[in-house]
């Protein structure tokens, strides 16, 4: 029975490498995989799913008018993978549920749970509400050895606590931190 999975983690937790690993495992067995990535994700080029360790693969760009249900019905993949799923809209998450429920295709969506202020992204909000299985991909805090649960935005290595929700970036812009270190850095920033 097909299910919708939401695998979330902080920045630098290995989400994209896991997407690429799962795609490889399916393809090595001669199975078809569809790999979707939102148009807003342009860190390594639009349509590219890339990990920080250098592996990458072309994906199908999901824009406002992309009909993932139709594409899945035409391609009939064994599995659908979605990278950077936090950037999906409610309607796009509903398309994923339709693919699972009506076409019987498993969907594994990977993304951030929350932004640099601890607020849920639209796609993450709906995936947390609708996914059959929710799994955390873990990493450690940049400053201590606790589990990282927050994404800290930085500019010139200085934590930032205001700005637009979406700012595409990598290690130069975000670090994974635990809630305690996040709170400490936020207090320090406000006391300056």
Positions marked active-site:
84
Please report the beta strands in the chain, taking only residues with DSSP state E, as ranges in sequence order.
Answer: 4-8, 33-38, 48-50, 56-58, 60-62, 79-82, 107-111, 133-136, 150-155, 158-160, 174-177
Per-residue b or e along 98-110, where b marks 16 or more CB atoms closer than 10 Å to that residue's CB: ebbeeeebbbbbb
User: What six digits make up the tokens of 114?
Assistant: 């929350």
Q: How far apart are CA 111 and CA 123, in angstroms?
A: 9
Do 110 and 18 touch, CB atoms closer than 8 A? yes
């Amino acid at each position: 029975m097909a299910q919708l999975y939401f695998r979330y983690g902080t920045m630098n937790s290995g989400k994209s490498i896991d997407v690429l690993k799962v795609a490889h495992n399916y393809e090595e067995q001669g199975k078809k995989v569809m790999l979707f990535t939102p148009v807003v994700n342009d860190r390594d080029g639009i349509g590219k799913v890339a990990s920080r360790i250098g592996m990458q693969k072309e994906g199908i760009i999901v824009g406002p008018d992309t009909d993932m249900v139709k594409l899945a019905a035409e391609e009939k993949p064994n599995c659908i993978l979605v990278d950077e799923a936090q950037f999906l809209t409610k309607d796009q998450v509903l398309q994923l549920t339709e693919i699972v429920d009506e076409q019987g295709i498993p969907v594994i969506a990977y993304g951030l749970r929350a932004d640099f202020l601890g607020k849920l992204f639209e796609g993450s909000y709906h995936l947390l509400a609708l996914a059959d299985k929710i799994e955390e991909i873990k990493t450690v805090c940049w400053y201590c050895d606790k589990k990282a649960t927050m994404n800290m935005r930085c500019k010139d290595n200085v934590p930032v606590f205001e700005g637009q929700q979406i700012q595409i970036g990598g290690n130069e812009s975000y670090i994974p931190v635990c809630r305690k270190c996040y709170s400490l850095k936020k207090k320090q920033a406000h006391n300056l």
